[in-house]
Amino acid sequence: MNTPAHLIFGATAFSRKDQKGSLTAAILGAFVPDLSLYAMVGVSIFILGVPAQTVFREYYYSDAWQAVFAVDNSFFLWGVLLGIALWRSWRLVAIFAASALLHLALDFPLHTHDARQHFWPFSDWVYNGPVSYWDSRAHAGIVGPIEGGLSVLFSAILLRRFADWRIRALILALLLAEIFSSGIWRFVF
């Protein structure tokens, strides 16, 4: 899934208007599994001047990059954090970890050749499924509109849940980012 959709889904699943900090924890938890990708792509393209084509066709698939992705996309590591947070009654940390796990659970079936090692450190196995959220050769024409439609629905739920105009502006910005990013992938691929 596109990162903005992950943030919307995580916020919908785990934020509560009566629990201070839950929206922030949910959004951050949904974002962190993609953080290394954004950081490495940003540094490579904007600081080192590497062409985007090289970054996404070579660097992304390199052992070094995949090793980083294995850590921040590990069901095991996020599950341990969730278990500790529940044991210690750290509600916001539990929301953070649960939102990250939701991110991984949604990514797992929606990657083909670009999948991650979700069972690190116990296995380097990668599930290369037949369905992709971005690749039109792997049913993105079906998955993308479903993702977009659910993002609209979940954004509406969040807009009803939160009355603060700043939160509503954030939700609308995430929805616009989702619509924009979905359109780019369908156009490019």
Predicted local distance difference test score (pLDDT) of residue 183: 53
Q: Tell which wins on pLDDT, 129 or 96.
A: 96
pTM of the entire predicted model: 0.92
9 with 150: CB under 8 angstroms? yes
For the chain, what is the mean pLDDT?
A: 92
Q: Which residues, in sequence order, are CB contacts of 90 under 8 Å at separation 6+?
A: 84
34 with 6: CB under 8 angstroms? yes
Share of the chain above pLDDT 90, in %: 79
- Whether residue 182 has pLDDT greater than 70: no
The helix-helix angle for 3-14 and 140-161 (nearest 10°) equals 40
Predicted local distance difference test score (pLDDT) of residue 1: 86
7 with 99: CB under 8 angstroms? no
Predicted local distance difference test score (pLDDT) of residue 137: 82
Predicted local distance difference test score (pLDDT) of residue 143: 87
Q: What is the mean pLDDT of residues 11-23?
A: 97
